[in-house]
Structure 1
Amino acid sequence: MKKLLFTSLLTISMLSACTTNEDEKVNEQDQTQQNDTQEEQQSNENEHATTESNGEDTVSSVTQAEALKTIKEQLGTELAVVMPNNLPLTKGNFLTATTNGTDTQAEILFLESKEYIPVNDVKLKNASAATPIAKLTVKLFDSVDEASKQIAYEDYSKNGGQQVALGYNINGYQDAGAGSLWTGWNEGRWAIATHTRTDNPDAGVDLAKQAVEYLESHTLPIPHENGMVHLDVYESGNLIVWQDGKLVYTLDSIKDPMKALAIASVFNQ
C-alpha cells in the first residue's frame, strides 16, 4: 500500500514538473515573439524616420504624383489631355488644383498649399488656402486649321528688326513700339519672344539669353504644327500656347517667366 502511494505521488510530481516546463517553454516563446514584434515595429519606425530625415521631399513628391492622377480623373471631360510630369513646388508644399471640364474644353488651376488639400476641395474657394502655380486650358476646335489660327506664330528672321546674338548660334530680332520692346527668335516649330519696356532694353535681351540657355538642356512639347512663347520681364504677361491637332494648349497665370518655361518642358508630349 505504501509502495502504491509512493508511486502515485511520484507520478503526480513528474506530471507537474512536465507541465511547468511546458508552460515555461510557451512563456519563453510568447516573450520571444513579442520581442521580435517590438523590434520589427521599432525597425519600421526608424526606417520611416530615416526616410523623412534623409529625403524631405519624399512625402510631397509622392503626394504630387497622386494629385496629378486625381486631377486628370476629375477633369470632367473626354478630351485626351496631356498632363505635366510634375510642377515646381515650394519645398514642403503640396500640389492641389481646381478643375472644370466640358466636351470641348478642360481647365486646370494648379495650386500649392502648406497643408494637404484634396483636389477640388471646398477649402480652395478661399484664396488664402493655396497659392496659384499655373493655369492650363485645353480647348478642342472644329478643325486643325481653326486650331492653328489660335497660334500667333511668327518667323522672326523674316520680320526684320535689329539683330542680337542670344548665344548657342541663335539670333534674336528686336521690334519696338508703343513703349514696348520685343526680342523674338525661333527654335524648331516654336516662336519665342521676350517683352520689356523701351526704357529697360537690356532686361529683354538678358531674359532671352536665359531662355535660350535653358532650352539647350530642356525640351518644350512638340507642337503640331506650331507653338508660341511670350515671356515678360515684369512678370505680367507670360503665355505659352501650342497646338496638338484640333487641341490647343494654353499655359498662363505664371508670374516667373523661367518657371513658365520649366512647367511647359515637363509635359508628356
Structure 2
Amino acid sequence: MKRWLFLILLLSSSIIGACAGHEKIHQAQENEIDEPVVQSNNDNRDTVVSQGESLQQIKDQIHSDIPIKMPTTLPIADDAFLTATTRAEGDHVEIIFYESKENMPINDIRLKNSATAICRLFVKQYKSAEGASTQIAFDNFSQNGGHEVDLGYNITGYQDAGAGSLWTGWNEGRWAIATHTRTDDPEAGIKLAKQAVKYLENHMLPIPKQYGLAQLDVYQSGNLIVWQDEKLVYTLDSIKEPLKALEIATAFYQ
C-alpha cells in the first residue's frame, strides 16, 4: 500500500513539474512574441553596403547584349531597399529604380504602387557613333551670347530668355549644363546654377564620348541628363530634385 502511495505521489509531482515547465516555456514564447524587434544601425549600414550587390542583380535581370554601365550607388534612405523594374527590347534597355521599405524582388508587379521611383534610366544603342551623336543637343554657351553671370569657381553662365522661360547655361568640359526657371523668378535659376557648379567641383559627371547635356529645373518638373558613350546614348529622367539628378549622374563616373 505504501509502495502504491509513493508511486502516486511521485507521478503527481512529475505532472505538476511538467505543467510548471510548460507554463514557463509558454510565458517565454509570449514574451518573445510581444517584444518588438529592434534593428541596429549596423543593419542599416548593411543595407547601404549591399547596394552594389543589388545593382548587379538588377543588371543580371537585363537580357540584352547592349553593354550598359550601371551607377555605383543611388540615393536611398538608410533603412530602405533598392530594387527596380527592367525591360529590354532590341536596341534599347529601360530600368526604373525604386526605393522600397520592404525587400521586394526585381520586376515585382507591386513596385509601381508600393515603392517610390528614384529615376528612370533609358539606354539606346545606335548603329554608329555618328548616329548617336545626333541625339545630343550640345551648346557652346559662350558662343551663343546672352547675359553673363558669375557662377563662382571661375565659371561664367549665360542667360537666355524666351516664352516666359529663363535659362542659365554653362559648359564644363564636353558637358552643356543649364538651369530653367520662369522670367518672373530669375534669381531662382542663378541660385540653382551656383549650387550645381559647387556640387560639380567635388563630383565628376561621366566622361561623354562625345557630348553630354544636363537640364536642371527649378520647379522639379523637367530634369533631364543625357550623354553619349560611343554608340550608346544614356538618358536619366523622372527625377524630381535637380541636385539629386546630378548626384545620380555622377554615380556613373568610372
Query: For 1:89 and 1:243, how far apart are their aligned partners in 2?
Result: 26
Q: Cα distance, 1:141 vs. partner?
A: 0.7
1:195 maps to which residue? 180
1:115 maps to which residue? 102
Runs of 4+ with deviation above 3 angstroms: none
Q: Cα distance, 1:53 vs. partner?
A: 2.7
SS at match of 1:57: helix
2:87 maps to which residue? 100
Q: Tell me the percent identity.
A: 60
Q: Is the 8 A contact 2:207 2:253 kept in 1?
A: no
Comparing 113-122 with 199-208, which one deviates more in the overlay? 113-122
User: Residue 72 of structure 1 aligns to which amino acid in structure 2?
Assistant: K
**1:204 matched to 2:194:** no
**1:171 matched to 2:162:** no
**1:228 matched to 2:228:** no
- 2:241 equivalent among 238, 256, 259: 256
Q: Is the 8 A contact 1:67 1:119 kept in 2?
A: no
Aligned length: 216
Q: Name the TM-score, length of structure 1 as normaliser.
A: 0.78
SS at match of 1:110: strand
Query: For 1:160 and 1:56, how far apart are their aligned partners in 2?
Result: 53
Query: For 2:79 and 2:41, how far apart are their aligned partners in 1?
Result: 14
Q: Is the 8 A contact 1:60 1:92 kept in 2?
A: yes
Query: For 2:43 and 2:246, how far apart are their aligned partners in 1?
Result: 25
Counterparts of 1:9-88 in structure 2, within 5 Å, are 53-88=40-75
Name which one, 1 or 2, has greater alpha-carbon Rg. Answer: 1
**1:147 matched to 2:132:** yes
1:28 maps to which residue? none
Q: Cα distance, 1:268 vs. partner?
A: 4.5
Write out per-residue CA displacement over residues 161-192 of structure 1, whole angstroms, 9 at most, x where no aligned residue.
00000000000000000000000000000000
Query: For 1:69 and 1:268, how far apart are their aligned partners in 2?
Result: 16
Query: For 2:83 and 2:69, how far apart are their aligned partners in 1?
Result: 17
User: Residue 40 of structure 2 aligns to which amino acid in structure 1?
Assistant: S
Q: Is the 8 A contact 1:60 1:94 kept in 2?
A: yes
Q: Is the 8 A contact 2:48 2:78 kept in 1?
A: no
Q: Is the 8 A contact 2:225 2:237 kept in 1?
A: yes
Write out per-residue CA displacement over residues 31-56 of structure 1, whole angstroms, 9 at most, x where no aligned residue.
xxxxxxxxxxxxxxxxxxxxx63435
1:90 maps to which residue? 77
Structure 1: stretches of 5+ with no match in the other structure: 1-51
Relative to 1, partners in 2 of residues 1:115 and 1:239: Cα closer, same or farther, differing over 3 Å? Answer: same
Q: Name the TM-score, length of structure 2 as normaliser.
A: 0.83
Write out per-residue CA displacement over residues 113-167 of structure 1, whole angstroms, 9 at most, x where no aligned residue.
101101112322xx33100000000000111111001001000000000000000
Relative to 1, partners in 2 of residues 1:73 and 1:134: Cα closer, same or farther, differing over 3 Å? Answer: same
Cα RMSD, aligned residues only: 1.2
2:114 maps to which residue? 129
Query: For 2:104 and 2:253, how far apart are their aligned partners in 1?
Result: 25
Q: Cα distance, 1:67 vs. partner?
A: 1.5
Comparing 60-69 with 127-136, which one deviates more in the overlay? 60-69
